[in-house]
Structure 1
Amino acid sequence: MEIAVIGNDEFVLGFRLAGIRRVFVADKDNYQEKMLEAMSQPNIGILAVDAKDLDNLSFAVRHKVMDSIQPVVVPVGGDQSDLREKVKRAIGVDLYKSEDE
């Protein structure tokens, strides 16, 4: 399974520098098309997206993306509790849980 990223040139640049090779460059006009393309790739396990770019998706596609398990879509820059739930659902363990909880 691979990690991939989708977003504008500036957003994906940092991921490229970190070694992510599967990159989908998208702008406001073709974001939904690129998202559906990325979601259809069977070898992508995690898809990082800029949280604010999810507004470029229709309601139905956004719902499909956020409920996806294969790949797990991880919004970056959004609410941390959403990331916590995604990780928990993907691997079955709450990595953020402290001993106090």
Structure 2
Amino acid sequence: MEIAVVGSPEFTLGFQLAGVSNLYNPEGEEDLHSILRSLLNNKSVGLMVVDSTMLPTLPERLRDQLSASVSPTVLGIGTEEDTTLRETIRKAIGVDLWK
């Protein structure tokens, strides 16, 4: 299983330095939607890391698909506090580890 990272060049740089090779820097909303949809349907991707600042701009249906996806697991990561990771872990194992 592969890791795919979607975000700005500044966001994906750290992942590139860590050795991740599936990096996507969308140029506009349509490009972002297209990349996310194709990664959701890609069976070789097991984990999709997305810049959390991009998630609120997505259409509700696509956001629902991303949050419900098990394979690939979608993680929204950013500089602001976000409960996406907490909710993903809770859904995966059925326990809230932060309590």
TM-score, with normalisation over the residues of structure 1? Answer: 0.80
- Please tell me whether the aligned partners of residues 2 and 44 of structure 1 are also in contact (alpha carbons under 8 angstroms): yes
- Please tell me whether the aligned partners of residues 90 and 97 of structure 2 are also in contact (alpha carbons under 8 angstroms): no
Distance 2:5 2:76 in 1: 10
What is residue 91 of structure 2 aligned with on the other side? 89
TM-score, with normalisation over the residues of structure 2? Answer: 0.81
Compute the displacement of 1:38 (Å). Answer: 1.4
Identity across the alignment (%) = 29
Distance 1:93 1:59 in 2: 24
Alignment RMSD: 2.1
SS of 2:83 mapped into structure 1: helix
Residue 76 of structure 2 corresponds to residue 75 of structure 1: yes
Task: Give unmatched runs, 5+ long, in structure 1.
Answer: none
Distance 1:72 1:56 in 2: 19
Q: Number of aligned pairs? A: 97
Distance 1:55 1:80 in 2: 12
